[in-house]
Amino acid sequence: MTVKPVPATMVQPGRIRVIKPGSTRNGPVIYWMFRDQRVSDNWALIHAVDEANKRNAPIAVAFNLFDSFKGANARQLGFMLRGLKQLQPFLFNSLHIPFFLFQGEAVETIPKFLVECGASLLVTDFTPLREIRKFKEEICEKLGDLVSIHEVDAHNVVPVWEASSKLEYGARTIRSKINKLLPTYLIDFPTLQPPNMRWNSSPPPFIGINSLKTVSSINIISPFIRKGAEVPEIDWCEPGETAALEVLKGSQNGFLTKRLKNYATDRNIPLKPKALSGLSPYLHFGQISAQRCAFEARNVRKVAPEAVDAFVEELIVRRELADNFCYYQPHYDSLMGAWEWARKTLMDHVSDKREHLYTREQLEKAQTADPLWNASQLEVVHYGKMHGFMRMYWAKKILEWTSGPEEALATAIYLNDKYEIDGRDPSGYVGCMWSICGVHDQGWRERPVFGKIRYMNYAGCKRKFNVDGYIAYVKKLVAESKKRKAEAEISLGQKQKEPRC
Ligand code: FAD
């Protein structure tokens, strides 16, 4: 792939990679949206509009809904589709840009759309995850020289390829590189204006291509929710850009407006989940820009400097370190991706006797002898978001209770991706790799099973927070969730019995 910066009038050149240069055509610009599912503060959309104006061409946004992507179920798909359902009219009403929803394989649907509308440029947003990178390569091949392709890192504050050109060892090695570039990249966003040229108001009726509005009228969301019903939707976190901004800085209970000070003191107390920002679902689905969050946080730094610095460290340094790992380490979700010292120490201890050995099913059903671990597993199954501190303990115990690091890692990733609303994310793969394989960590005193991997135990948690209080808190969450589920089932049963006119 050729990589060189392009001149852009609005987007910093370092944010854009030309994957395929210069098509001579002058047709429409298509933004294939994947990771950054928002209209506001989206550098990929800004770049696409900019390019469309330069070409005096119209622009459209395309989204491909995979039949199955990384095991997503009702919880994740419901959140995503409900967000997209809001995005479509927002995009059209504020910018006159149409939104096309495709269903099937992106490798088929996206090129077909591009060819049939005579597109000259495909703009994509960036993800380091291998599936989408592979699709992009296949799309490139399929399109030949017909269409130019630009990739825009609209997810990271500092674009991943600008922050570092290599796999970083840890936060301490990437921090200064990122900080040096923040004056360039941590800036406010321009206000996007409608493009100069509008899309033909009646796009050709391609087979398999519909606007979300059309699809929603035959209710596209319900079949996905039914299909993935094993892990139901959550109801405490409203999807969409507006809700995301409310969580960041709303006047009711916004993180920066109402909860910021507690972040410095309480963010590691699992009994106080509101001390965390709660932004990860929105960040994962790109319904809010991390740059917006960091920019707004810095604006209120005077109020709580310690909290803002800690938040920005997680939001930028830790999150972008995770993207760095997944981008430069092809084995980002397997033992092969661990550093040599970690692989060695884990294999040295692979045949150590385990006090308990649990199957994946026992773990999934929270049937261990540790009530604290069971509570964290139930928190994610029923609530859909495990507290950040508990995620570390949770994953480390899986290492302790399975036959070896490979099984532990596979189980942790499986459960994380299945139940976390923010799962299937670089931060999830790296979180599991950190806990089980010592990625971005250092060696510690050697002990059974863990070797030199950092250890965590029940007694340590007990010293840190009120363990019984957390267990009781999760018990209440589970009871409430079961009650709501039962009520929903009764109401659905009644609706089905109602006569139809
Ligand atoms: P806040 O503390 O308010 O953080 C704000 C943002 O900073 C987060 O939304 C996230 O984007 C980023 N962040 C915070 N902590 C980390 C971290 N350790 N690494 C990278 N980025 C971070 N995060 C996910 O987004 N998806 C996952 O699937 C996921 N799985 C994890 C699994 C394990 C085993 C571990 C140890 C961590 C995992 N994390 C994951 C990272 C972290 O726990 C969550 O991002 C955080 O708990 C989300 O809640 P919040 O937004 O309220 O956190």
Q: Looking at the structure, tell me whether residues 32 and 81 fall in a common domain.
A: yes
Q: How would you label 129-138 residue by residue, b for 16+ Cβ within 10 Å and e otherwise?
A: beebbebbeb
For residues 123 and 30, the answer to whether their CB atoms sit within 8 Å is: yes
Q: Looking at the structure, tell me whether residues 344 and 440 fall in a common domain.
A: yes
pLDDT at res. 170: 98
Residue 452 Cα to ligand 1 midpoint, Å, equals 24
Residue in 55, 45, 31 with CA at minimum distance from that of residue 122: 31
Q: Which two tokens stand for residue 223?
A: 């079949």
Please give the order of strands across the beta sheet that includes 148-152: 16-20, 148-152, 121-125, 29-33, 59-65, 99-103, 209-211
Residue among 409, 421, 427 whose CB has most ligand 1 atoms within 8 A, to mutate: 427
| 211 found inside a domain | no
- Residue 407 class from Cβ within 10 Å (0-12 exposed, 13-18 middle, 19+ buried)? middle
Q: Which helix (DSSP H) or strand (DSSP E) does residue 161 occupy?
A: helix 160-163
- Say if strands 148-152 and 16-20 run parallel, antiparallel, or are unpaired: antiparallel
| 3-state DSSP assignment of residue 107 | helix
Ligand 1 pocket, residue 278 CB under 6 Å: yes
β-partners of residue 149 are: 20, 122
pLDDT at res. 225: 80
pLDDT at res. 334: 98
Ligand 1 pocket, residue 409 CB under 6 Å: no
Q: Give 196's contacts (C-beta < 8 A, 6+ positions apart).
A: 52, 53, 56
pLDDT at res. 496: 65
| 495 found inside a domain | no
Q: What is the residue range of 377's domain?
A: 335-475
Ligand 1, atom nearest to 432 Cα: 34
Q: Looking at the structure, tell me whether residues 323 and 454 fall in a common domain.
A: no
Ligand 1 pocket, residue 411 CB under 6 Å: no
Ligand 1 pocket, residue 160 CB under 6 Å: no
Ligand 1 pocket, residue 391 CB under 6 Å: yes
pLDDT at res. 486: 85
| 499 found inside a domain | no
Ligand 1 pocket, residue 319 CB under 6 Å: yes
| 391 found inside a domain | yes
Taking CA atoms only, the protein residue closest to ligand 1 atom 14 is 314
- The DSSP-derived string for 411-431 is HHHHHHHHH-TT-SSHHHHHH
Q: Looking at the structure, tell me whether residues 180 and 322 fall in a common domain.
A: yes
* Domain containing residue 148: CATH number: 3.40.50.620
Q: Hey, what's the torsion of the CAs at 465, 363, 391, 467, to 10 degrees? A: -10
Residue 322 Cα to ligand 1 midpoint, Å, equals 10
User: How does pLDDT run along the chain (501 residues), one tens digit per residue?
Assistant: 444 444 446 899 999 999 998 777 789 999 999 999 999 999 999 999 999 999 999 999 999 998 777 778 999 999 999 999 999 999 999 999 999 999 889 999 999 999 999 999 999 999 999 999 999 999 999 998 889 999 999 999 999 999 999 999 999 999 999 999 999 999 999 999 999 999 985 544 433 334 444 444 446 678 878 888 899 999 999 999 999 999 999 999 999 999 999 999 999 999 999 999 999 999 999 999 999 999 999 999 999 999 999 999 999 999 999 999 999 999 999 999 999 999 999 999 999 999 999 999 999 999 999 999 999 999 999 999 999 999 999 999 999 999 999 999 999 999 999 999 999 999 999 999 999 999 999 999 999 999 999 999 999 999 999 999 999 999 999 999 989 888 877 876 776 666 554
Q: Looking at the structure, tell me whether residues 160 and 294 fall in a common domain.
A: yes
Q: Looking at the structure, tell me whether residues 142 and 185 fall in a common domain.
A: no
- Within 251-402, where are the H helices? 260-266, 280-284, 290-299, 305-312, 319-328, 340-348, 360-364, 371-378, 388-401
Q: Looking at the structure, tell me whether residues 23 and 121 fall in a common domain.
A: yes
| 218 found inside a domain | no
Distance CA 498, CA 129 (A): 46
Ligand 1 pocket, residue 98 CB under 6 Å: no
Taking CA atoms only, the protein residue closest to ligand 1 atom 21 is 319
Instruction: Mark which of 280, 300, 328 sits at the end of a domain.
Output: 328
The structure's pTM equals: 0.95
Distance CA 411, CA 435 (A): 13
Taking CA atoms only, the protein residue closest to ligand 1 atom 2 is 276
For residues 361 and 369, the answer to whether their CB atoms sit within 8 Å is: no
Ligand 1 pocket, residue 279 CB under 6 Å: yes
- Overall number of domains in the chain: 3
